Amino acid sequence: MALQDYETALVTGASSGIGAAVVRALCAAGKKVHAVARRQDRLDALAAETGCIPHVLDLRDQAALYDTLGALDVDILINNAGLGRGFEDFTTTPAADIDVTIQVNVLAALHVVRACVGGMKERQRGHIFNIGSVAGLYPVNSAVYGASKGAVHLMSQNLRVELAGTGIRVTEICPGRIETEFFETAFDDDEAKAKFTKGFNIMQPEDISDAIMYAADAPWRVNVGLIEMTPTEQYLGGGNITPVPGR
C-alpha cells in the first residue's frame, strides 16, 4: 500500500507543530483527515485552512477516546500527541508532571493505537506512525520524558512483531530538536528553554511531516521501521563528567 492506496488518516496533537504540518500534507495529498486536539479554536482554524475534520478531545479521557476514535475508519494513524514535562532534575520534578507525561506520552498513545488497529486488521491495510524521540533511544538527561519515549520505542518495535501478516505497517519517527511549542510547555524557566532552542538551526515541523509522507508513500513491500532525525548541528552522546563532591 503506497499513499495513493490509503483514503483516511487520523492525526493526534493536530493543533500545532508536527501534527498541524502533517495534517496539511495529508490534506494536500487528497486524504480525508481527522484532526484531534484539545484546542478548538486552533482546530477550527486548521479545518478552515485544510478541510480536515476536527475532533476536540483530551486523550487522557479514555472513554471519550474510544467513543470518538473507535467509530472512525483509519488507514493512516499519526500517533503524535505528547508533551515534555519532567525535563528538569528528576529528584525535584513534581509528581503531577510525571503523571501527565506518562498519561499522554504512553497510556494515551497505547489506547489510540488500540482504538484504531482493529479496523485496520479487518481491512488488511494500514500504517501506524508513532512519534517517538531521540530521548527514547539515547541518554539525554531527561529521566521522565526519556522513559516515556523509550516506552513508545519498544511499543513500536513490538507492534511490528504482533502485526506481522496483517498488512499493517509501523513506523517510528524519532526527532531531535524541532521549532514547535514543545519547549514552551516543557520548561517554566525561559533560560532553560533557550538552552534547547538557541545556538544552532533546529528542525521545522515540515521536516518531520516530509519524512512521514516519504514512509507512507513507500511501496507496500517496504516498511520503514524507524527514522532518526536531528538538526545537522545537534549531536547525541558525549559530554563532560561531573565529579562527585569529596571524591
144/57 Cα distance (integer angstroms): 24
- How many Cβ atoms sit within 10 Å of the Cβ of residue 154? 12
| Bridge partner residues of 12 (DSSP) | 36
| Annotated catalytic residue, options 6, 66, 145, 214 | 145
Instruction: Please return the burial class of 181, using the count of CB atoms within 10 Å of its CB with bins 0-12, 13-18 and 19+.
Output: exposed
Question: Is the separation of the CB atoms in 109 and 243 below 8 Å?
Answer: no
Cα 82 to chain centroid, rounded: 6
Side-chain half-sphere CA neighbours of 168 within 13 A: 26
Q: Which of 109, 230, 208, 115 is nearest to 158 (CA)?
A: 109
Active site residue 235: no
What CA–CA distance (Å, rounded) separates 18 from 39? 15
The Cα–Cα gap between 197 and 137 comes to: 20
Distance CA 159, CA 168 (A): 10
Residues involved in catalysis: 145
